[in-house]
């Protein structure tokens, strides 16, 4: 037993001496270059950083949303401020009531408020709506411009023209209003010789009754009198030849800003 104990103690001493000589314990030495040459090479990094890419500036992007529940639009982002419009969840055509997003801000009441363009008279009206009354945001990079002097509609995508066609607009007695609006619906149920194969509802309103079925709003639609275009021939709506509005249908998303100038 004593012999076994002495042997065990001797082996422990040898092991401790080896560890100390390898640099473990209180008496470790400074490593030299030969120690590092003996180490295996470091493995390749698993992190691969790709080349930087330029992000879109968002210059041509615009956002829109819809009214989720009937609500009031206020003059300022505060429920105590003046009500400037009452907004229903549906547009007169029965489609969601689409609004163009301008900016968002936190109110003094702690709620998030959104400034939107209002589909009311006078054109150009804006108001603040509580965020909780609105649906999710959607984004488009298109912009439809109707030039009343040139009697032409042009659609831009990311700043580049992708469509252009002659149009008919309102007469002096039934003018097509100028301003900033949005395309809020695409409708096929109005398909007829008068309205053509497809129609678009907009948030533009006329101060006089237009020929739009739901009255007062400006529609974009086809025509059974293409020989009248271009011209000032409508009751305020914007008319295109049927072949042109079918081309436009394939390019024009809902929510597209509409400038009438």
Catalytic site positions? 221, 237
pLDDT at position 189 is 81
Q: What is the chain's pLDDT, residue by residue, as a tens digit (261 residues)?
A: 444 444 444 444 444 444 444 444 444 455 555 554 555 565 554 444 334 334 344 789 999 999 999 999 999 999 999 999 999 999 988 999 999 999 999 988 889 999 999 999 999 999 999 999 999 999 999 999 999 999 999 999 999 999 999 999 999 999 999 999 999 999 988 788 888 999 999 999 988 876 676 668 999 999 999 999 999 999 999 999 999 999 999 999 999 999 999
pLDDT of residue 21: 45
Query: What would the DSSP string read from start to end of 51-77?
Result: PP-PPP--TT-EEEEEBSS-EEEESSS
Query: How confident is the model at residue 209, as a pLDDT?
Result: 74
Query: Domain 62-139, what architecture?
Result: Roll (2.30)
pLDDT of residue 27: 46
The pLDDT assigned to 109 comes to 84
What pLDDT was estimated at residue 10? 45
Looking at residue 52, what is its pLDDT? 37
| pTM of the predicted structure, to 2 decimals | 0.76
Give CA angle at 63 (241, 137), nearest 5°.
115
Q: Which CATH class is domain 141-260?
A: mainly beta
Q: What is the pLDDT of residue 53?
A: 38
Helices (H), the chain: 2-21, 33-37, 242-249
Classified as helix, coil or strand, 260 is strand
Residue 3 burial (C-beta neighbours within 10 Å; 0-12, 13-18, 19+): exposed
Domain boundaries, the chain: 62-139, 141-260
| Rounded-to-integer distance, Cα 157 and Cα 180, Å | 17
Length of the chain: 261
Please give the structure tokens belonging to residue 245: 């509005």
Q: What 3-state DSSP class applies to 242?
A: helix
Task: Give the CA-trace dihedral at 151, 155, 158, 161, to 10 degrees.
Answer: -70
């Amino acid at each position: 037993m004593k012999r076994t104990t002495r042997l065990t103690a001797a082996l422990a001493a040898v092991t401790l001496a080896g560890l100390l000589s390898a640099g473990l314990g209180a008496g470790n030495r400074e490593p030299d270059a030969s120690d590092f040459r003996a180490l295996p090479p470091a493995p390749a990094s698993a992190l691969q950083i790709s080349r930087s890419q330029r992000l879109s500036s968002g210059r041509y992007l615009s956002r829109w949303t819809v009214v989720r529940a009937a609500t009031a639009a206020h003059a300022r982002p505060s429920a105590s401020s003046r009500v400037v419009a009452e907004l229903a969840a549906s547009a007169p055509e029965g489609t969601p009531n689409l609004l163009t997003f301008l900016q968002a801000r936190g109110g003094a009441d702690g709620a998030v408020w959104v400034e939107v363009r209002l589909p009311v008279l006078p054109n150009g009206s804006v108001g603040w709506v509580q965020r909780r009354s609105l649906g999710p945001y959607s984004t488009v990079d298109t912009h439809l411009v109707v030039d009343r002097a040139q009697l032409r509609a042009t659609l831009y995508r990311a700043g580049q023209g992708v469509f252009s066609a002659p149009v008919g607009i309102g007469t002096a007695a039934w003018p097509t209003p100028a301003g900033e609006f949005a395309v809020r619906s695409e409708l096929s149920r109005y398909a007829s010789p008068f309205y053509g194969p497809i129609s678009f509802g907009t948030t533009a309103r006329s101060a006089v009754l237009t020929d739009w079925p739901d009255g007062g709003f400006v529609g974009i639609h086809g025509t059974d009198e293409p020989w009248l275009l271009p011209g000032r021939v409508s009751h305020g709506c914007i008319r295109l030849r049927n072949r042109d509005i079918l081309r436009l249908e394939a390019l024009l998303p809902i929510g597209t800003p509409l400038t009438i100038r």
